[in-house]
Amino acid sequence: MAREDLVEMTSDKVVKLTPRGVVLAEGMVRRHRLAERMVVDLLGLELYKAHAEAHRLEHAISPELEAKIRERLGNPATCPFGRPIPGSGHAPPQVTRVALDQAQPGIPYCVDRIPEENPELLRFLVEQAILPEEMVTVMEASRHRGVITIKTRKGEGTLGYAVASRIWVHLGG
């Protein structure tokens, strides 16, 4: 990667992307997140399958096809998991985000981002309506038991702290 001018090593031995590497990496992330949007929003694929399918597609999307996908989707700002799409002009709202394991009990929060790489976890999050732009309230935080009881529009359920720490929320709706 260094020979291709994608990464360089700093004086303190940290590997970092070069400006060219940043451009290529952002392009790959953009194609991946647009592919996630496409397979979910246009093709109706279940959310828990979107990350794996997008990974397969991201390498085959040409700049022309990327532009068509972006146009057809209405230039989305985020992927279905809540992460920004590079180059979309997305300006995240000026809100304070916290991981769900740090949320205050009894206060409604809006889900901002969820983890995308575990299909079984995603299936659970979909079933529980723990998705971007959905509301969630921590009913009880029980560190000694290692679980958080939450309420969503689907009812009450529990999450382990490890999962809750990967779900980002903000106040309000």
- Could you tell me the domains of the chain? 7-72 (1.10.60.10), 97-171 (2.30.30.90)
**Quick one: which of 132, 155, 137, 157 has its CA closest to 147?**
157
Residue type for 155, please?
G
Amino acid 10: pLDDT: 80
Q: How far apart are CA 153 and CA 110, in angstroms?
A: 12
Q: Alpha carbon of 164 to those of 43, 115, 169: distances in Å?
A: 29, 10, 10
pLDDT bucket at 2, cuts 50 / 70 / 90: low
Structure tokens at 90: 């997305």
Residue type for 142, please?
S
Q: How far apart are CA 139 and CA 87, in angstroms?
A: 38
Residue 14: phi, psi to the nearest 5? Answer: -100, 130
Q: How far apart are CA 165 and CA 76, in angstroms?
A: 26
Amino acid 11: pLDDT: 83
The DSSP result for 80-101, as a single string, is: TTSPBPTTS-----S--EEEGG
Name the pTM for this structure.
0.80
pLDDT digits (tens, 9 = 90+) for 112-160: 999 988 989 999 999 999 999 999 999 998 888 889 999 999 999 999 9
Amino acid 162: pLDDT: 93
User: What mean pLDDT comes out for the span 82-110?
Assistant: 87
pLDDT digits (tens, 9 = 90+) for 12-71: 888 887 778 778 888 899 999 999 999 999 999 999 999 999 999 998 999 999 999 999
DSSP tag of 75: -
SS3 102: helix
